[in-house]
Amino acid sequence: MTLRFIAALWVIAALTLHAGCGSSPGPKPAELTEIQPKATLKILWQGSVGSAGKGVLFPAIAGNAVYAAGADGNVSGFDAATGKAGASIEAGQRISGGVGLGGDLVLLGTPKGEVLAFDRESKLLWKTQLSSEVLAPPEAQDGIVVVRSGDGRIHGLNVATGKSMWIYQRATPALSVRTHAGVVLHRGAVFAGFPGGRLVALSLSNGNVGWEGVVALPRGTTELERVADVTSLPLVDGKQVCAAAFQGRVACFDVLRGTQLWTREVSSVAGIGADVRYLYVTDDRDAVLALDKASGASIWRQDKLAGRTVSAPLALGSYVVVGDLEGYVHLLSREDGSFAARIATDGSAINAPPVALGATSFLVQTRDGGVFAIAVQ
């Protein structure tokens, strides 16, 4: 077996597949060594929600409000600046994917395929049954709620009633990585990555395809080797939109026409981030890479977190933020990828990407339900 195949085997086995479930210990996590701090990470406030269980739950931020949920269906609101408790919601059933916000709605999905819409006063406004489980937070814009279901469909729902407005569906390969990535809404378009290495731009109003780009092409002789799925959220950055594929590439496209701008051979499950200069990606061996945003050329690589199930990167000022499987938050220098600071949370995994709270602060949610607002000083 090739090294590429072996790497593919443990990464896919560690995830739930459409073809079944499996687990693998993967490589031994790298031990953390002492660093010479260049900055300080400080916990501004922390809260607690229920455990994420076996799923990934994404928190949401809108203005001065933070919402986070546990798999048991309890959603807690916090003041973004102080952590003071706000409105809470009891869904009355298990939820999956986390919290989506749109206008005045708090949006939730369930393993049974329901979408629940609450107002900010915790009143249930409507619920809609979809074709399969909801693994990512619903999103809303311009009067339409967009939800991705586990069977690969994307649903456009009326924001006021939850009634179906359109459905986009495409064929799914026999073997693909189970993904918790949803959709990105941007200026009347819906961007979503798919199994088989495709990035699709849809019209928000009717679900029609605007363009389709090839992030990666399946390669190899076995079904396992030919898995080339976009498993993380695309990133819209100015005039380009970028995506990363497992056993594939990072690729950027013109946001309007879908013309491919550049590609780089990098395999990623966790995903990407960007700032005004660089695009950052966590690869499938838990290295964090910085690439030139205009060309894809390599700038630096931080590989001292191997096997630590590193999250997607968040670019924040002069730094890049990632979390790991033991609840550590690592701050990397934007210039060379060196460790600038580190802080512990509650010891459980940070699977969802860190989310920016402001220019110098961010939020992480752990698998055990810890919600931490952290500042860079």
pLDDT, tens only, 34-57: 999 999 999 999 999 999 998 999
- Does the structure show a pLDDT above 80 at 12? no
pLDDT, tens only, 160-189: 999 999 999 988 776 767 778 899 999 999
Count of beta carbons in the 10 Å neighbourhood of residue 187: 10
| Mean pLDDT in residue range 115-122 | 94
Q: What's the CA gap between 201 and 212, in Å, rounded?
A: 6
Average pLDDT of every residue of the chain: 91
- Residue 209, pLDDT score: 98
Walk me through the domains of the chain, giving residue ranges and CATH numbers: 61-177 (2.40.128.630)
pLDDT, tens only, 239-282: 999 999 999 899 999 999 999 999 999 999 999 999 999 999 99
Spatial contact of 62 and 139, defined as CB atoms under 8 Å apart? no
| Mean pLDDT in residue range 195-224 | 91
Strands 314-316 and 298-302: unpaired
Spatial contact of 134 and 97, defined as CB atoms under 8 Å apart? yes
Distances (CA, A) of 46 to 147, 329, 366: 29, 14, 11
- Does the structure show a pLDDT above 60 at 19? no
Phi and psi at residue 200, to the nearest 5°: -120, 140
Spatial contact of 279 and 293, defined as CB atoms under 8 Å apart? yes
- Residue 4, pLDDT score: 41
b/e code 33-65 from CB counts within 10 Å (16+ = b):
eeeeeeeebeebbbbebbbbeebbbbbbbeeeb
Structure tokens at 324: 């790991």
Residue showing tokens 């073997």: 175
| Mean pLDDT in residue range 96-123 | 94
- Residue 169, pLDDT score: 94
- Residue 11, pLDDT score: 46
Could you write out the DSSP letters of every residue in 330-377? EEEETTT--EEEEEE-SSS---SPPEE-SSSEEEEE-TTSEEEEEEE-
List all residues 6 or more positions away from 156 whose beta carbon is below 8 Å from its beta carbon: 144, 145, 146, 164, 165, 166, 167, 168, 190, 204, 206, 207
Q: Confidence band (pLDDT; 50, 70, 90) for 1?
A: very low
11 three-class SS: helix
| Mean pLDDT in residue range 181-208 | 96
Phi and psi at residue 4, to the nearest 5°: -60, -40
- Residue 176, pLDDT score: 67
- Does the structure show a pLDDT above 90 at 102? no
Closest CA to 323 of 348, 299, 356, 292: 348
Spatial contact of 157 and 163, defined as CB atoms under 8 Å apart? yes
Q: Strands, E, within 19-113: which ranges?
A: 41-48, 60-62, 65-69, 74-79, 85-90, 96-102, 105-109
